[in-house]
Chains A and B, each alone.
Chain A
Amino acid sequence: MISSFTRNLISRRRALQLGAAGLATMTITPKFAKAADELNCLVWCDHTHARLLDPFAEKHGVTINVKEYEGTGTAYSLVEQSQPGDWDVFVIDSVDVPGAVEKGLLAELPEAEMPWDDIFPELRQPQLHFKDGKLYAMPEKFGYNSIAFNNTRVAAEDVATAAVMWNPKYSGRIAIYNYYIPTMEMVALGLGIRPDTITQMSLPAIREKLLEMKKLASVVGDVVTTQNALLTGAADILVAGGEYTVAGMMVEKPELDWTLPKEGGIRWGQAIGVFADSAKKDLATEFVKYILSPQGQGALATADCYWAMPANAKAELDDSQKKQLRWDQQPGFIANSHPYFIPDADLDAAMLDVWTEVLGA
């Protein structure tokens, strides 16, 4: 989901990463690799705050170095330009775990030591996290690309259906999240197409609907831009938004809300594993177990960077946090959501072409 989560927030830095990834890696990773009491983690931005990291670091007397990335492609570039053993822990989208396993990046995890019984059953997805019966990554956090909205300006009955994404009543009040895969999958849901059945044949209908939506939209942007649009009144509806865009702000801005329409939403998930080349696999595995513990899950779910649902149903969340995450509604939401579908390379390229055309329209 969050492939483009911080796309623009830190895009200057990202441009530097992409343009000079080798240089950056050379200057950063050797420092990490040499220290025995350090754990080097390649993560999404929600794994970088002290509230999450400090308890583990203090308990084990280690320094945790985190390097955040914002797209699996970038993560692979960083790994490829590092020395074997530089990295210990890898947080990665669940859908990209098989690819990482295929590349030999992930080590086997001790399945018996993981809290499988506490993980929401729908997130276990053995086809993603296991290969040949061996566990390579644990689901740790999930959420939805669905609809975020201003509940004082958008009628509850309107957001109950996916058609709100192209409802002319909200012309000029709609923001569209600019990551093409979940947004196009949301549009597909609204058109009655299950995301995992999207083919090249489905794209013309999705394209037509996106072009229609673009005319109604006030902004097409990254998470921060679309959040800003909701906050400043430039938009009242965020297509492909969800808890990750508004849950962290709902105490201060109770009018910002999120839901799944009756057609459902797209469920994204991220996973955590240990690098195959890590020289500190035991420590890294302990870190994985800590992240999956109720304490770690509570801190991860309410991360400063973005909130989302913990994979562990026993996560430590207070009542307010549960309310913001719509915790009580999770069984229904999970049942009514579709796992994030990653197209094959050809379909992915075709989807990007459509998206590029829509942006240029």
Chain B
Amino acid sequence: MKTLSLKSWGHLPALAWTAAFFVLPLIAMLLMSLSERIEGRITLTWTFANYQAFLTKAEGTFVGALINSVEVTLLTTVLSVLVAYPLAYILAYRIPRQWQRLVLVLTVLPFWTSYVIRSYSWLLVLSENGIINQSLLELGLLSEPVGMGNSRFATVLGFVHFFAMLLTLTIYANLVQIKESYRKAAADLGANSLQTFWHVTLPLSLPGVAVGAFLTFVLAIGDYITPQILGGSKELLLPQAVMLQLGRQADFPLASALSMVLMLVVTAAFLLSARHLKMGRV
């Protein structure tokens, strides 16, 4: 009984934390999304007008922004996994154990740079005066510079640069937990390297991929900075639409409704990937 009691109390800080910093703000945002601005004051009127505005306002631009957000986020997540998995695999199985920590630190080193600075750096790299254009021009592969910044390509590149590192960590943490004996057993049974990877390593590492991919999805879909700096507003993403409502007009009700829509998308992503989200494996 004593142990049970201690265990129950042990959950309280986590519950209190979640309640204070997630549940209450979420409820506040929900109530705000059901409010209206009347003569400059925000009043809770239990209206769904803000959700209706999401569907109909500005010729359906908000729906288009959501579609753009989902497309960019899915592209980012898939590319990040494709970049991160081989990196994590090499780290876990090809780098000698005594060097793994150092290589891991080197891999995540870009994390230490400010997110904003990293985004602006990419803009410089991709610009017409940037290193890529100048190198291609010098090599004679281009006759005139090509603008690569201020585009969806630039946004996805900036995202992948950031999230591939995050995914590398989660996948690596999962890969090093897979017992070597499993792969040896597969080899003893006649499986070659590819078969061992396909039938043993990959399935067992999916929890790490799922956790990393989910985190990537959540962080990317709500991100404002990268598309704002690298996308050049060539297309509107939903976080940018949220900020538009806040900048001058302080339209918190509509901004909250748009944020709740984003929350719904994240929830759907969670439900779709929940089967694979085993945090204990990463």
Please report A residues at the B interface, Cβ cutoff 8 Å: 3-4, 7-9, 11-12, 15, 18-19, 71-74, 76-77, 172, 178-181, 218-222, 224-225, 228-229, 232-234, 345, 348-349, 352-357, 359-360
Q: Give chain A nearest CB distance to B159 CB in angstroms.
A: 15
What 0/1 readout, one digit per residue, does chain B (104-139) give for beta carbons within 8 Å of chain A? 000000000001100010011001111000000000
The residue that A356 contacts in the complex, of B61, B128, B250, with Cβ under 8 A, is B61
A232 contacts B248, C-beta separation under 8 Å = no
Contact, CB under 8 Å: A12 / B116: yes
Rounded to whole Å, the gap between the CB of B170 and the closest CB of chain A is: 23
The answer to whether A359 and B61 touch (CB under 8 A), given A232-B124, A232-B128, is: yes
Check A11–B149 contact: CB distance below 8 A. no
The residue on B at minimum CB distance from A19 is B25
Tell me if B96 is interfacial: C-beta within 8 Å of chain A.
Answer: no
Nearest Cβ distance between residue B119 and chain A, in whole angstroms?
9
Q: Which secondary structure characterizes the binding site on chain A?
A: helix
Which residues on A sit within 8 Å (CB–CB) of B224?
Answer: 11-12, 15
Residues of A within 8 A of B225 (CB): 8, 11-12
| Cβ–Cβ < 8 Å partners of A19 in chain B | 25
B221, CB-defined interface residue at 8 Å: no
- Residues of chain B contacted by A18 (CB below 8 angstroms): 246
Q: Let me know if A72 and B248 touch, CB within 8 A.
A: yes
Taking A15-B243, A352-B244, A356-B57 as known contacts, 12 extra A-B pairs with beta carbons closer than 8 A to each other, sorted by chain A number, are A4-B248, A218-B232, A220-B234, A221-B150, A233-B129, A234-B127, A234-B147, A355-B244, A356-B58, A357-B58, A359-B233, A360-B65
Residues of B contacting A225 with CB < 8 Å?
A: 123, 228-229, 232
Question: CB distance B232 to A221 under 8 Å?
Answer: yes
Contact of B243 among A7, A72, A345 (CB under 8 A): A7
Give me 25 A-to-B residue pairs in the complex whose CB atoms sit less than 8 angstroms apart, sorted by A's number.
Answer: A7-B243, A7-B247, A8-B225, A9-B116, A11-B224, A11-B225, A12-B116, A15-B224, A73-B246, A73-B248, A219-B232, A220-B232, A220-B233, A225-B232, A229-B150, A232-B128, A232-B130, A233-B129, A234-B128, A345-B40, A352-B248, A353-B58, A356-B58, A356-B62, A357-B59
Contacts of A181 in B (CB 8 A): 248
Q: Which residues 35-86 in B have Cβ within 8 Å of A in the complex?
A: 40, 57-59, 61-62, 64-65
Closest chain B CB from A282 CB (angstroms): 32
* A76 to B59 CA separation, bound complex (whole angstroms): 31
Q: Which residues of B contact A11 (CB under 8 A)?
A: 116, 224-225, 228, 243
Q: Please state if A359 and B116 are interface contacts (CB–CB under 8 Å).
A: no
Q: Is there a chain A Cβ closer than 8 Å to B265's Cβ?
A: no
Shortest beta-carbon distance from A268 to chain B in Å: 13
Residue numbers in A under 8 Å from B156 (CB-CB): none
CB neighbours of B128 from chain A (8 A): 232-234
List 7 tightest A-B contacts by C-beta distance, closest first.
A73-B250, A360-B61, A232-B127, A220-B233, A219-B232, A360-B236, A356-B58
Known: A219-B150, A220-B232. A352 touches B127 (CB 8 A): no
A356 touches B241 (CB 8 A): yes
Given contacts A73-B248, A359-B240, A178 and B61 within 8 Å (CB-CB): no
Interface membership of chain B positions 220-262, coded 1 if the CB is closer than 8 angstroms to chain A and 0 otherwise: 0000110011001111100011011111111000000000000
| List of B residues within 8 angstroms of A218 by Cβ | 147, 150, 232
